[in-house]
Homo-oligomer: A and B are copies of this chain.
């Protein structure tokens, strides 16, 4: 039996690949991201310090059996170490020419700072002396040694870091120096001894002098850190699986602090802020990696290295070019120059801003480095979202900083910019927002479920405590409220109703500006900018490519007769100006025009109320005739804005009592008048109250509205259909090409449609005859009642199109009243993990989604040409857009602002599922 291989040298990538089957993803799974990339760099000839990787399988095996190395692993590690000694020309633990190594964690997915690293392993009293002889740099050696003792002590031996920091501080006090760098070689030697004393005091044994003991214990520490609380919490928050394990990388130490011919740096192959095609980074000569990051010394721009070390720079540019071309993405590299020799310590795909992501993707596609499809997949819909959401632009923030408006910073918990007046409790926040119509920022030390109503009413949230997974952060993200949490410098005084940072006091009701994208807080009102699409040419290019992908016939592998292109993106728009914006954002139709919004306008509402309260049908029809011209002109504007594109107009949906004064208010007025004995106008008020009371419903969501109202009181929708077709006829006469689609809401039984639809179609035909024109049109229905989904096959025999009203469908499939659920239990459900996601934000695929899939399947079975879309809020949610693609819809319709996001999401879905057979199980 061949012994299982737990350890791979960096130059053994071929063995790894033959073990995992060549799949790069599996290589990363076995070696971790860091180890995989070090091996890959080694393979393509990039100078990497010799080293080896102990696999994630070894880690899992170690943890499984109760923290014991699996059989053979340590022997393999020692063997690899010998080969590294040979490659480096040094010997681990050798008194004359000792090899030092680092021991670094490296999981498949980056978990920055969550697991352990130990540097300078191999130093002890003896090898330190040897190193001094070799380097003639005592200060360097003991600096390294004291760092090893501290790092080993805290990371491997679990001694609180403060124990070392205290010793260091009192030593510096004694020596009367401020910075570590002021310490002399002797000082560091003495400090090393004091650190060793700390180890002895805390552990009862000495700092291990045997380098192999150091290596073994460090390796174990890294393995164990996979299951540390920090790492587990991080994984839960970022949804990384617990069974992946971490690899351990043992790498020959190279030193950038061995003199002015040495140095170290980090760089991006392109600008990660704006995507510009230009090397971007910093370096320091005679310094260690952490010095660059810590910001103690001023770093040099990477360009300057060309002057400082022209040869090295040239080599560096060649290498990074090679890496970018090799990985086909912008690289984020770490390097060290040891005595004039360049070593690459790490490469990975660089993190970038949304703006940079778009530019890099488009540039690389234009350069031919990647395909357009790859470019599309490089940008997430969420990134497009941040590019289009209101934000504070950099100039505004820089100006504010100059003006001293910068106030605090914290964790960027939920993206977006918000400007508002601060309030310190949920009730006040809600009241100010709802009653006074103020823009509110809710400020709390931390939030609890009781605070949710205030949070939902606020434009932004700021807390002084908590992290990225705190209650405030979770709620804010789920409900899309910009939020900064854990701004710990902010002292909130609930008594005085104020907050304070360095004696700058902000009182309740004062204005602040919160940038949830960056975690910054500013005093006063910063200007919000709503980016327009026109200026973002790279984004326009990318979205154009996305549309091309979706429009490609055959991209969707669909059953006979179903659409074989990807999704179209339509928009929800009630007014012509919304429709214009939607069109400019790339919408190919209107998926939902809510006609009742038009009823609420000031001049119209009195007529609407007269219509509702009319005691005779004649009176009602008379009032409706007054409304007709208004509606017709609304529709004319819509048809004009969307000339040539379909416009779905939904007939009246809400219950009529929504157009009347509230019952509570009337009751209060009537009682007050009665008690005070006022009689003037009392009778009328009492009558109105009694009308309103007679229309009261226990559960209006499930009451007399939509098609039910149309059946009981058909006059309103008859007027609406007349207005729609008169408008379309007028526009046709003007040479335009209107495509009206009449949508009937709330159908639950096919007989409802059979009852009302023919009556309305008759009016449509009548109007066309009256006007002497003819144009295409459709009649269809919303699918928003569970029963409609279950009986969609029957309904499709009458309806020519379906539009999923996923807001109501979610409400009724879950039995959640949205008005109450969020406040009462939904937040608890999401916090406790009872619901993985907010179903009002992302379609619940297992429940609501299953009904949707069933409706599409059976609807198309009954009418193969059935047009299917979605007009709920989910239409702009990328995960939901993907689901709509999977189940074979024709289009998604969302708010105009989300159209670009949906366009990209639709292309992602088309590319991701282009080989999936329709009818296959829905991927989770």
Contacts and interface: CB of A to CB of B under 8 A. Distances in A.
Nearest to A663: B664
Nearest to A697: B820
Given A786-B813, A846-B794, A834 B712 contact: no
Contacts of A814: 748-749, 785-787
A551 to B, nearest CB: 34
A654 to B, nearest CB: 13
Interface residues of A, number: 56
A808 B755 CA distance: 26
Contacts of A851: 786, 790
Nearest to A668: B671
A703 B824 contact: yes
A817 interface: yes
B675 A748 contact: no
Interface stretch (A18-26, A825-833, A869-877): A825-833
Contacts of A844: 787
**Copies per complex of this chain:** 2
Interface string A819-860: 111001100110011110000000010111011000000000
A616 interface: no
Contact of A817 (B702, B813, B821, B850): B702
A825 B703 CA distance: 9
A820 B699 contact: yes
A746 interface: yes
A821 B700 CA distance: 10
B834 A752 contact: yes
A811 interface: yes
Best-buried of A667, A816, A829, A834 by chain B (most CB within 10 Å): A834
A450 B786 CA distance: 29
A428 to B, nearest CB: 15
A689 to B, nearest CB: 12
Given A675-B671, A787-B848, A812-B815, A704 B832 contact: no
A701 interface: yes
A755 B846 contact: no
A794 B845 CA distance: 14
Contacts of A816: 702, 748
Interface of A is mostly: helix
A751 interface: yes
A239 to B, nearest CB: 16
Contact of A808 (B703, B815, B846): B815
Contacts of A751: 833-835
Contact of A819 (B698, B752, B794): B698
Contacts of A297: none
Best-buried of A668, A815, A848 by chain B (most CB within 10 Å): A815
A703 B786 contact: no
Best-buried of A751, A787, A851 by chain B (most CB within 10 Å): A787
Interface in A653-673: 664, 667-668, 671-672
Nearest to A755: B834
Contacts of A812: 702, 786, 812-813, 815
Given A701-B702, A815-B702, A832-B755, A712 B820 contact: no
Contacts of A786: 786, 812-815, 847, 851
A588 to B, nearest CB: 31
A711 B829 contact: yes
A791 interface: yes
Contacts of A668: 667, 671
A178 interface: no
A834 B675 contact: no
Given A812-B786, A813-B790, A834 B749 contact: yes
B698 A825 contact: no
13 contacts: A671-B671, A698-B701, A698-B819, A702-B816, A704-B824, A708-B824, A749-B834, A786-B815, A787-B814, A787-B844, A787-B847, A790-B851, A812-B815
